[in-house]
Structure 1
């Protein structure tokens, strides 16, 4: 009888332990901790977030570190300590912020590389892929740390030509397309292959290079020039107005520089080939060093215009109207119409609606002195 009582007691105790264990496990699940942290206030919320930050799942630990950071009024010590402990969420977060710079952390690409490499070496997961994407962009676009071979190695890690269009594979296609456009990292330069890889681009940088491919198509006569220029314009507008705001400022500067160089090359070739229809396919900025520090968002309504300070030259696309001639009013060009001054394009909204003094040229090469 005593044996049965003992067994019963042990059985009940075992059941209680199991129930407590299940409750403890359930209450410590990342989803539950996150929900409780969202509802709690003060120290209790911090307690839940701290417990969540210790989870092995980098997605949840990263979210917890981010929330703790927001509650600390910009104190990065917790993030730094977590990064030292090789917490992937903290490493990726710090790497991204050092890469782009923000109000509480100055841009430092060398430190960004350090933390992104740490995040990429930690156990396989979502954050490894995101860290690799950030590294690819640094290796492709930052002149101080450029490494096409390393970028190509990371691209090949994710890009499978025979795979479907998953998000990872599509982004890897974008980067493979950029390398193919450049002819770097073991990729042979081939505009047709680059076009195929970039046509479903999900990144602003890839949309920019897709625009360049359309521009080259127009220059070399593979398709109707006006159609190609329109497609190039749409790609550039998407790149600058849509995706690129999420990306690194340094990449944006690189994109704008390439854009201007491509424009100049296109203009030179159109003269060289004796083409009459010479469209302005990009921007020529009068003061690049000043311009690069300003916002580059676009408004798009069939034309393109930039939000930039008065007094700065900027290009504008227009494929539907004749440019430059017969458009003067009271000694000034009409609002929003274009004129050339030593190769730079000005719009009538600059300088309080007036053009900078100089010689302007119409499309028929007649001069107008202002």
Structure 2
């Protein structure tokens, strides 16, 4: 009987507290949204399952939890804390990205840059609320709506905040269909949403080959700290465009990025143990993340309207909302909003140009923020 009682006291049923139950509920909601609503299932399903897994109570000291040395989850989490997984994801993204849309209309690159204003506004807000500079920088990057970039920068500056920042970044990416449409409707008129974009010109192979090399040199010389992200990104792209290493490019955009995404999502989710994750700082991060993402969306929209003051050929302001880095979610949402206003107005390819620019922009911002904190 004593052995039975000892066993029962060491089960998760006896060790659980309200924080574990609450976080398991959050994980179940994420899994539900991924399966039933199909909100970014590639992200939310592994993260949601990881949240459930990470909040199963266990007896401390047996090397089970993600924060216990020599546990399996701890070793898998190493790819998050060192920034390995984000770099691998960027390699795969580069091998999937087609810059033809951006090269055919380079001024759309400005919308990707404008959308990064949410990052710097949130940086100032976080500093005003008392966060340390390294923590404020990690929180601010949520405004780029780029999960891997957020994780990479946080791993370098504020590793203790990886859980809440990663969950916030991926949550807002998944909730794009809920967050962005009201902002797009509020800041644009019906006539603006009906603006048609000109047909894209054909981009030569030579241009597509030159761009990743020139882009890497320009961006990495500007922000050398972005090399771990943009280096693999542009390398993946030149593999794709060269046509001579198709097997490598195919592996990068399928097996490699899928493997990194699985372990990234699962371990980030598992890192949200209730006793570590649930605190007032996490709530503040979530609120600031929502502000950052909303301002980033609004900045892109408003800058597109500002550009139209000087352009003969007007830009559909909706494209500004695709300037955030959430590929391809925000581009798809811009396209859907355009179709709701005019069923014959196709904006997807133009939105993807802004989207790809946003990926580069958020990585540069991460490099700049990391440089500031190194210098400090």
TM range (shorter): under 0.3
TM-score for both structures, normalised by structure 1: 0.22
TM-score for both structures, normalised by structure 2: 0.22
Give the structure with the larger strand fraction: 1
Higher relative contact order (CA 8 A, sep 6+): 2
